[in-house]
Structure formats: structure tokens, C-alpha cells
Structure 1
Amino acid sequence: MTTTELAPETTGAPTRPGLTPAGLVTVLLGAALPIIDFFIVNVALPTIDADLHASTATLELVVAAYGIAYAVLLVVGGRLGDSFGRRRLFVTGLWLFTLTSLACGIAPTAGTLVVARAAQGAASALLLPQVLSIIQATTSGEKRSRALGLFGATGGISSVVGQLLGGGLVAADLWGTGWRPIFLVNVPIGLVVLVMARKLPESRAHNPLGVDRLGTALLAVTLLSLLIPLMEGRALGWPVWSIALLIVSPVAAVAFVHVERRLERNGGTPLLPPSVMRLPSVRRGLMVAVPFFGAFGSFMFVFAMTLQEGLHFGPLGAGGALTPLAVAYFTVSMLSSRLVARYGQKVVPLGGAITATGMVALLCTTLSAWPHVTILELAPSMVAIGVGNALAMTTLFRIVLSHVPTDLAGVGSGVMTTNQQTSLALGVATLGSLYAALSASLGSRDAFALVIGAVAVLAAIVAITGRRLPDPRA
């Protein structure tokens, strides 16, 4: 359920040779790997905890380190591809993703795993932007429409595969390796895709945008100095360094805004251009996206932990319980374009309302039957949450990009995706930490109830604030 940066339409007409069917399969496989990895990790968290003796705060970092690195470097990865060749950056990113997956799979400690996950997120930031850029630059007309449709379907299918594959691999405990195959499976697949990638056509932008090095560094400092103490501070008793980092974060944020404004005034293209951020569709869309993605990130983390630690589902059962959500998301996301064409921005508050209803239903189901809840009993609320997320998420991206100038389409999509990944990590850092604190004192049942209640409130906020979004059809 992640999205990557769209290539600007101005990157030129399709090059020759174009993208063959085998080439399309290659780039779609490259896109599927990081998405599958996102869902696999959630299912495996309790097993990682048991093996590496990681705290809940460290498990949050296992999830968030990937998202932070991806969020910070996504736009950079897209611009590097425009400058140095999209096939070259696709291959480079895939090599790095394969190697960092190996590093994750053989990580001897929880700290090593966190570092490897951050490196894996950086590799994904180089890999994923090239997929849509290659499709955009090497196809046209109906062929491009089919390719983009298959790209959207790949995200949904990958989420389903991630749930089932993750649960199956961890439950199988191949050769006593526990959770490690969820990362190691990327290695042979990555090597096969690398061989296939030799036939991809190369393309570059005619007028590539430069890389905002200072802005990228300041954004990284802002996010890291905020999220690391939020995740680790409570567990460590709020040491001096954690308080110092929290003080650094707003200072770095102010410096980031100043640098971005100055760069744009001087004719450059900032990492997150202030002029794009000021567009009503972008500004309002991002304000709704923060609680939406924050709620989703925290829900996926807390629910995966509760399924196995509180309800004792096991990894395969946890994957099975989450699968109805992924299937519903995939199915509805394929229909969302028609709904937006008919109902416009109303689809977002509808999605928020359905998600909030699903969260309340989940809360009632788990509390009434705890600890003997079955997958079948969870399925209706999982379907509702999947439907609501699909309606809101896909429409939010359309709204944010609806009034962005064509020549800044890639920049606008990068702004949205950076917001998405940052909000996912922030949700894990805040509500994930709250869950850890409450479960230690109240137990899994009450901690889950309180956090899911908070997630339902965030979904309700999306339903209310989403009514003020501009119409993407205008």
C-alpha cells in the first residue's frame, strides 16, 4: 500500500526501443518486492522479538527505519534516475535492495537489523521511482494505460502475497531459521529480476532537476530527531540525549523550511517546493493525509502484535486474519476511479467513515470474544477497514495531484509520498509507543482497546475534515 513518485509528463516522448512485455514484467517485479516486504515484516515482528530479544521500541524502529529512509530519499532517487538513467538506477536500487535484504536476513542483533532496514529503505527509494518513470518514458497511449493499471494491481496483489507469504514462511521455520526467510527470500528473486533487467531500455529526462542536498539532509535530521526519541525515550527513561533530540527537531524543521524557500526563490527545485505545498489541493490533502496514514501505520503495527502476543494466533494465523483487509483493499482500489469520477472528493470522507466503523466493529468483536477470537469473526471488520482505506487512500493521491502543474507532476507525487511514509512512521512512533506502555501496565487486551479507539478517532477526523477537500474533477 505504498505509492512512488510519478515521472513528469515532460520527460519526453517514448524512446525506442519501447518497453516489451518482458520488460514490463521486470519492472513490476521490482516494484512488488518492497511492497511485499512491508507486509511481511508486520506479521513477523513477534517472532523477531522472541529471537533477538528486542523491545517493542526497537520493533517500532524495525518498521519505521525503512519508512524514514524511503521518505527522505524518494525524491532524490527519482531525480537521480532522470539524470543518470532510469534503467541504471533501477538496477542499482535492485542490487542494493537484494544485498540489504541479505543483511536483514543474517542480522545477528536487533540493532543490526534496524540499520539494515534503514539501508533497505534507502535502496527502495532508488528502485521504486524508476518503475513509473520507465513506464512513463517508454510507453504511450493504450499501452501506457494498461501498464499503469497493472502497476496499480501489483500493489494490491503484493499486499495479499505479503500477508500470506510472511505468515507461511515464519510458521514453516525453515531449517530452524524462524523469521529470517522473510528477508532472505528477496535474494534469489532479486537476482532473477537483475538478470531480466539487462533487457530494459534506458531513458533519461531532457532537463533533469537537481538534487536538493541540504534540504534532504535537514529533512532527515528533522524526522530522525523527532521519531527516535518518541520510540526509544520512554523505554530508556527519557535520557538527556532524547530530550536534546526533541529540541533539535523543530529547529531543523524551521531551517528546512527556510532553505526550501530560499532555493525556490533562487530558481532551484527544492525537495518539497513551497509553491507546490501552498496549492489548496496539496495543502488540504496533506492535512487529511497525516491522520489517515498515521492511523494506518499504527494500526498495522499494533494489530499484528496483538494477534500473536495477545490472541496467540501465530504468524500464519496473523497473516490469514489480515488477508481479508488486503483483498478488500485490492478489489475496491480497482473500482475507485469510477467512484471518484461520479462522487469526487466525497469518496474520502466516505472512506474515513467506513474505516472508523470497521475499527469500532473490530473493537467490539475482540473485546466480546477475547481471547478466543477467530479469523472468521474478525473478517467483517477487516473487510470494512480494507474498503475504507482503499476509498480514502487512492482518492487522496488524486486530490493532491489534481491541480499540480503537469511539469511538476513528479515533484507533487514526491511530496505526497514523502508525507505518506513520514506519517506512517509517526503513527508507529506515537501510538505504537503508547501500546507498548499500556500493555506493560494494563495487558494486551486493554492496551489494544485504547489504541484502536484512538485509531477510530483519527479515522473519524479524516471523515470530517475530508468534506472540505477540493473536488479532483474541477
Structure 2
Amino acid sequence: MTLKPDTEKIAVPATTATGPAPLTPLGLFTVLLGAALSSIDFFIVNVALPSIERDLHASPATLEMIVAGYAVAYAVLLVLGGRLGDSYGRRRLFLWGVAAFGLTSLACGLAPGAWWLVGARVAQGAASALMLPQVLATIHATTRGEGRAKAVALYGSVSGLGVLLGQVLGGVLVAADLAGTGWRMAFLVNVPVAVAALLCALRAVPDSRAGQPRRGDIGGTLLLGATLIALLLPLSEGRATGWPLWSLLTLAAAPPLAWAFIAVERRAEHTGGSPLLPPSLLCAPGVRRGLVLGLPIFIGFSGWMFVSAIVLQQGLGYGALKAGLAIVPMGVTQIAASMLAPRLVARLGGRAMTLCALVHGSGLVVLALTVLWLPWPSLGPLALAPGLALCGLGQGVELALYYRIVLAAVPSARAGAGSGLAATVQQSCLAVGVATVGSLFLALVPGLGMRDAFAVVLGVQCVGLLGLALLSLGLPRRLS
């Protein structure tokens, strides 16, 4: 089906002579609800993984694909979704994204098998990629001054709330087993929320679009998707299947595909096109440094969330609700730290990243000592709380600083391209983290046992955070 500019007569909030209508409180609530849906859904599935494994007889590698498939589709289509909104109307793409998210959530909840669920999760990630870019773009286009500052601050808090609500809500829904639905309700709950968001959006979200929209980069999008799939599929499935020839060939194809992607992006930029990820942005040392800082943050974070879900429920025997509540100390301190991040940056500048990396690493050390020294079968949530709280303090500042560092090095005229680059790297790293850290953990469990394998993974993540602390020493004292 071919996209066409808005011509149909649907209820669109009126536009002013100088631009789109201002965003009302209901409109702001609606777009933030869309952002919350995509954030919560990434984390809600972690609590449901052991139940999915039992019910669908899914292998551990398939569980990785259930999580990573969502992040890959999200990462690959994120920039394209933003450009479609610029061209055809952000309100229209938001409506399409919300509707698609509701339908794909229904497909996830009704999945008859594990690979059906993987496919539905990929489609769900694609729906999120249509929906999420319109949120910040709509806020930017329809708010001014103090109203915009408050709206952006609320948008920034959605990520931290997503971690907390996703884990707790997932635990509650799986444990409640409403009408025998079990893990399926973790997906089905999205359907009525999406319907409500759709109705509110029809009424309250104003339309806006870019004055000079850019073309989509179909070639770059396909090559980026092929590169990530060639990397992640063998890392997830190869270990479990004994590294057959197809997995080695696929993994070997990842570097040439990455080279082809870079070449296509360079050619598109040199010929005046609209590359998915403009290579010239990487010429700025600040952008490169910021993106490199994101690698240990997001790879470690997604790997940790995947591994912790398995450790808490299968290793320690927690139920889904208890496992979700066990993560609450991390979620609470993460939200608090993200709110305090601006003050910390004002006082410490780039050293704030160094400090939070060390705090995060100390939390992982406390967790490792806790699981190694205390009786493993009877280890309760209270014993894990101090380490988790420290991890949340570090993560809250890390996540807030990542975008600030990257975008500070991007010219204001290219802020859209810079934010797209930062978001794509973030989502790609979330997928890579599940495939790499998750695969390492699963490979170690048969030989070491779950407790020692968990401690090793925590040590690997500590090494990454130490690298983050050292790299952050090169950040300027003052961050714009």
C-alpha cells in the first residue's frame, strides 16, 4: 500500500495560522502513553520468560530471540519511522503505530508456538518504531518554553518508569494467571491500553510535519537490518545447535554487510541523499566518544535484565510476582537518579559519568558477593536490595547522560539526525546485549552452575563499567 498525504476527513485538532495547534494535557498524556507502552513492553517480557519457556517448550536461545527480535526491528526502523512521520504527518503515523502495536500485542498473546511469538515480537518492535519517533517530534512541534521543558522532562522519566512498571506489572499479571492466560496476559494487557490511546489520539493529538521532509533510506535500512540479523541470529542459535555451518557462514557475513552499509550511507550523503545514519556525524570526536560510552551502558543493561529474570525464577525459585518485586529497589533508585542527574552534571560535568559508572560497578560487586557468600537456595529479595539499589543509582545517571553527551556534540541544525543515530545505537546495543551476555551466561551454566555463571556475568559487566569510567575521563568538565 502506498502512503499518501493526509486528505481524508477525520477529526484532526485544528491548526493555527502559524503552525500546529498547541498540545493539550490530554494530548501530552496520550503521546506519553504511547512512549510508555513501547518502553514497558521491552521489560515486561523478561518476567514472563520462564513461563513462556515452560508453556511453549522454547529453548533458551529462542528466549533470547523473543527479546532481541523486538529490539532489532525497533533499532532498524526507528529512523525510518521518524522520517515517515515528518513526511506524512506525525499524528497519522502515531495512530498507525498505536493500532499496529495493539494488533501485534494480540498476536503475541495468542501465539501458538515459540517461533510465532518471535515473529510477533519482531512485528511489535516495528510498530514501536512507527509510534515512538512521533512522540518527541510532536512535543517539539506543538509546545513552547516552559511547557516544552516540562513535557520533555516527563518524556525522559518514561524510560525509568518503564523498567519499574514492566517488571512489576509483568510479575503481577503472570502470577495472577487470569482465566488461565498466564504469561499471555503480559501481552494482551496492551490491547485495551492501545485502544484507549487510539481514541484519545483521534481527539487530542494535533498533526504536524516537517517543512522539508527527507526521503527514507530503504537501502540503508535493509543493510542495517541484515547486518544485525547476521550478527545476532548465530550468536543466539549457534551455541544451542552446536555451531552448524549456517551459523558460521551467517556470522562471517556480518562484517561485509556492515561495510556495505557504511559504503551506502557514505554514498547517500555525498550525493545529497538522506542516509539512515549520516557518517559525517561520526567525524565529530564528541559524537564518537558518546556512542562508544553507550556500548557498555546498553549492552550490559539489556544483558543484565535478561539474565536476572532467569536467575531469579529458575535459579532462586522465585515466582513471577516475587521476581518482579525484587527489581523494585533498582527501578526506584534509577528514577530518582535520573531526576537528580541535571544537578549532578551541573556540579561535576563529565565526571558525573565517571562517578555513576563506579557506583554502578560497586552495586554489581555487592551483588556478586551476596550471591557467592550467602546461602544460594534461600537468598531473598532483601539480601539483593542493596546491590540493586546501587545499580539503579548508576544506571539512572548513565541513561540520562548518554543522550546529553551525544547531542551536545551535534550541531543544532542536525539534532534530528543526531538523536536518530543515538537512539538506533541504543536499541542495537540492547539487542546485542541479550545475544552476547545472555549467550555467555547460558553457555556457562552447564559447567559452573547458575550461581557461579551469574557471578561471572556480573564480573564481565564490571569490566565494561570500568572501561566506561576510564573513557569518561576524557569528557569535558562542562557539558552543554
Question: Does TM-score exceed 0.5, indicating one fold?
Answer: yes
Structure-2 separation of matches of 1:14 and 1:439: 61
CA contact (8 A) 1:13 1:137 kept: no
Aligned 8 A contact 1:399 1:471 in 2: no
Q: Report runs of 4+ in structure 1 exceeding 3 Å deviation.
A: none
Counterpart pick for 1:186 among 171, 176, 190? 190
1:320 aligns with 2:325: yes
Counterpart for residue 375 of structure 1 = 381
Q: How does 1:59-458 map to 2 (within 5 A)?
A: 59-199=63-203, 200-369=205-374, 370-458=376-464
Q: 1:428 to 1:472 in 2, by over 3 A?
A: farther
For residues 149 and 430 of structure 1, what CA distance do their matches in structure 2 show? 33
Listed one character per residue, the Cα deviations across residues 364-418 of structure 1 (whole Å, up to 9, x for unaligned) are 1111121211111111111100011111221121010002111211110111111
Asked whether the equivalents of residues 399 and 472 of structure 1 are also in contact (C-alpha less than 8 Å), the reply is: no
Following superposition, the deviation at residue 86 of structure 1 comes to 0.2
Retained in 2: the 8 A contact 1:42–1:300?
yes
**Is the partner of 1:180 in helix, strand or coil?**
helix
Partner Cα distance (1:264, 1:102) in 2: 40
User: Is the Cα contact below 8 Å between 1:281 and 1:470 reproduced in 2?
Assistant: no
Deviation at 1:472, TM superposition (A): 5.6
CA contact 2:48–2:171 (8 Å) conserved in 1: yes
Q: Give the counterpart letter for 1:64 in structure 2.
A: A
Aligned counterparts of 1:449 and 1:398: Cα–Cα separation in 2: 32
Q: Structure 1 residue 19 and structure 2 residue 23: aligned?
A: yes
Q: Whole-Å Cα distance in 1 between the matches of residues 273 and 349 of structure 2?
A: 34
Is this contact kept in 1: 2:359–2:394, CA < 8 A?
A: yes
1:261, 1:81 → 2: CA distance? Answer: 24
Shift of 1:63: 0.6
Find the aligned partners of 1:273 and 1:151 in 2 and give their Cα distance: 25
- Letter aligned with residue 366 of structure 1: V
Separation in 1, partners of 2:402, 2:478: 9
Residues 318-350 of structure 1 deviation map (CA, whole Å, 9 limit, x = unaligned): 111111111111111011111112211111111
For each residue in 1:427-457, what CA deviation from the matched residue of structure 2 results, as whole angstroms up to 9, or x when unmatched? 1111211111111232211211111111111
Letter of the 2:33 partner, please give it.
L
Contact 1:225 1:245 in 2 (8 A): yes
Contact 2:20 2:141 in 1 (8 A): no
Residue 15 of structure 1: how far off its partner (Å): 2.6
1:39 to 33, 38, 43: 43
Cα 1:471–1:117 shift into 2, 3 Å: farther
CA contact (8 A) 1:398 1:472 kept: no
Q: Provide the C-alpha distance between the structure 2 equivalents of 1:90 and 1:58, rounded to a whole number of angstroms.
A: 30
Q: CA contact under 8 A between 1:306 and 1:444: conserved in structure 2? A: yes
In structure 2, how many angstroms separate the alpha carbons of the residues matched to 1:180 and 1:13? 47
Q: Residue 225 of structure 1 aligns to which amino acid in structure 2?
A: A
Q: Give the deviation of 1:13 after TM superposition.
A: 10
| Structure 2 counterpart of 1:61, one-letter code | M
How far off is 1:471 after superposition? 4.9
Contact kept in structure 2, 1:401 and 1:409, CA below 8 Å: yes
SS at structure 1 position matched to 2:473? helix
Q: 1:37 to 1:472 in 2, by over 3 A?
A: farther
Conserved in 2, the CA contact under 8 Å of 1:326 and 1:386? yes
The 1:270–1:472 alpha-carbon spacing in structure 2 relative to 1, beyond 3 Å, is: farther
Shift in Å at residue 23 of structure 1? Answer: 0.7
| Contact 1:328/1:386, CA 8 A, preserved across alignment | yes
Pair 420,240 (structure 1): closer, same or farther in 2 beyond 3 Å: same
CA contact (8 A) 2:20 2:207 kept: no
Post-superposition offset of 1:14:
7.1
Secondary structure of 1:271's aligned partner: coil
Describe the SS at the equivalent of 2:183: coil
Cα contact 1:350–1:391 (8 A) shared by 2: no
Give distance in 1, aligned partners of 2:476 and 2:220: 29
Q: CA deviation at 1:146?
A: 1.3
Q: Is the 8 A contact 1:101 1:187 kept in 2?
A: yes
Number of equivalenced pairs: 463
CA distance in 1, matches of 2:422, 2:476: 16
Aligned-CA RMSD value: 1.4
Deviations 1:152-190 (A, max 9, x none): 223322322212111000111111111000000000110
Runs (5+) with no aligned partner, structure 1:
1-11
Report how far residue 113 of structure 1 moved: 0.5
Gap regions ≥5 residues in structure 2: 1-15
What TM-score do you get using the length of structure 2 for normalisation? 0.94
Moved more, 82-91 or 416-425: 416-425
CA distance, structure 2, for counterparts of residue 232 and residue 179 of structure 1: 23
